[in-house]
A = this chain, B = another copy of it.
Amino acid sequence: MGNIKKIAELSGVSVTTVSRVLNNHPYVKEDKRKAVLETINKLNYSQNLNAVHLSRGKTSMIGVMVPYIAVPYYGNLLEGIGEAALKNNYSINLFQTNYDEKKEMEALEKLKSKQVDGMIICSHTANMDIIRKYAEEHPIIVCEKVAEKNIAAVYIDHYSAFRQGIDFLHENGYKKIGYCVNRAKSLNSKLREKAFYEGLAELGLHVAKEWVFDSCLTIEDGKRVVKEFLELEDRPNALLVTSDQVAAGIMTEARRHKLNIPEDLALLSYDNHPISEALELTTMDLPIVEMGRRSFQLFQQLQEKKQETPIELKAKLVIRSTV
Let me know if A118 is at the binding interface, CB within 8 A. no
Looking at chain A, what size class is its interface with the partner chain? Answer: 35 or more
| A279 in contact with B277 given A48-B113, A75-B69, A75-B72 (CB within 8 Å) | no
Q: Which of A70-87 contact B (CB under 8 A)?
A: 70-72, 75-76, 78-79, 82-83, 86
Residue-wise, chain A 249-291 has the 8 Å CB interface mask toward B (1 for contact) of 1011000000000000000000000110111100000000100
A142 nearest CB across to chain B (Å) = 20
| A88 located at the interface, meaning its Cβ lies under 8 Å from any Cβ of chain B in the complex | no
A147 interface hit (Cβ, 8 Å):
no
B278 touches A248 (CB 8 A): yes
Q: Is the CB of B96 within 8 A of A94?
A: no
Enumerate chain A interface residues (CB-CB to B < 8 A): 1, 46-51, 53-54, 59, 61, 68-72, 75-76, 78-79, 82-83, 86, 91-96, 103, 109-110, 112-115, 218-220, 245, 248-249, 251-252, 274-275, 277-280, 289
Known: A48-B54, A49-B110, A96-B82. A72 touches B72 (CB 8 A): yes
Q: Report the bound CA distance from A97 to B119 in whole Å.
A: 22
Copy number in this complex?
2
Who on chain B is nearest to A44 by CB? B112
Evaluate contact between B96 and A86: CB separation under 8 angstroms. Answer: yes
Q: Could you tell me the distance between the alpha carbons of A251 and B275 in the complex, rounded to whole angstroms?
A: 11
14 residue pairs A–B, Cβ–Cβ below 8 Å: A46-B113, A50-B114, A53-B54, A68-B79, A69-B82, A70-B289, A75-B75, A82-B94, A91-B94, A93-B93, A93-B94, A219-B277, A252-B280, A279-B279
Give chain B nearest CB distance to A129 CB in angstroms. 15
Instruction: Kindly state the separation between the CA atoms of A252 and B94 in the bound complex, as whole angstroms.
Output: 34
Least distance between A7 CB and chain B CB atoms (Å): 14
Most buried by B among A61, A114, A278, A279: A278
Q: Which residues of B contact A51 (CB under 8 A)?
A: 54
Cα–Cα distance between A115 and B91 once the two chains are bound (Å): 10
Residue of B nearest to A71 (CB): B75
Minimum Cβ distance to chain B for residue A59 (Å): 7
